[in-house]
Amino acid sequence: MNRYITSTIRRVSNAWPAKPVISRLSAPIASFTFDDFPHTAWTNGAPILESFGVRGTYFVAHAFSPENLNKHPDTEVMPGVLYYELDDIVAAYAKGHEIGCHTFDHKRVSHQSNYELLGSVDRNAEFVKNVLGDVIMTSFAYPQGNVSISAKRLLSRKFSVCRGTRAGINTKLLELSQLRCFNLDTNFNKNSIDALIRETKACNGWIIFNTHDVINFPSPHGCTPELLHEVVAAVAASGIEILPIKHALGRAMFRPIAE
């Protein structure tokens, strides 16, 4: 397929509104998410959120489980990153963090048929059920932010919320098949935090920050504990409520009866 067609398909897939829902937010909200669940997202990331009395969402893929990485050392991983232990998932859930689905095999969804994709999310649900018991994951994050129209249609029926990696504040018409987020990675401009907070407050939006490993010398997709602390502190100080994705969705869908 030539480059023009590929980029057109990508553009149309990203723009396709598979699950637009009118926001009922009467106040701004924020969520912090961690894709792939690197070990340091738990050991360094969670204590930062918890020190502000808030919780995050950890997107788990079986591909990064100790069992799979032992069995398949050729699994595509971020070099130098240590991934979760099963106990990390148990501890995160016990502390009130949300566990979300990131597929079983962490493959790009546009490379999979609906049948394969459905099998992947079902197998991942089974994996998490074996670790946590009767827990149903209702939030989903696309591996590498890659989407297709058919995957968006399928997954937005399977999950309450799907999050992509395209930048933006979610406001007015929430696109629940591909929520936008800001990646806290090595390209993140920390001078923009105050402007992002102002914009979120001005539109009663839902701002989502996503990262991977949280360590002093992070991978290109991760961030330092210092940056995560700075962003969480700024959001908390602004008065924006911080909630895991599934609780934030509850806020966004229902207006209090008194209003």
User: Interface with Zn ion by CB under 5 A: which residues?
Assistant: 35-36, 143
Shortest spacing between CB 117 and Zn ion, in angstroms: 15
In the bound state with Zn ion, the residue whose beta carbon lies nearer, of 137 and 193, is: 137
Shortest spacing between CB 112 and Zn ion, in angstroms: 15
Q: How many CA atoms lie within 13 A of 155 on its CB side?
A: 36
Shortest spacing between CB 164 and Zn ion, in angstroms: 12
Closest-CA residue to 64 (of 89, 37, 46): 37
In the bound state with Zn ion, the residue whose beta carbon lies nearer, of 25 and 228, is: 228
The residue assigned the tokens 């997954």 is: 155
CA–CA separation, 146 and 256 (whole Å): 35
CA–CA separation, 122 and 128 (whole Å): 10
In the bound state with Zn ion, the residue whose beta carbon lies nearer, of 76 and 194, is: 76
DSSP conformation letters of 61-108: -GGGSHHHHHH-TTS---TT--B--HHHHHHHHHTT-EEEE--SS---
| Cβ(222)–Cβ(211) below 8 Å | yes
Shortest spacing between CB 203 and Zn ion, in angstroms: 28
Shortest spacing between CB 32 and Zn ion, in angstroms: 16
In the bound state with Zn ion, the residue whose beta carbon lies nearer, of 74 and 134, is: 74
Write out the two tokens for 113: 């048929």
In the bound state with Zn ion, the residue whose beta carbon lies nearer, of 84 and 171, is: 84
Q: How far is CA 247 from CA 18, 96, 213, in A?
A: 21, 11, 23
In the bound state with Zn ion, the residue whose beta carbon lies nearer, of 143 and 244, is: 143
Shortest spacing between CB 258 and Zn ion, in angstroms: 40
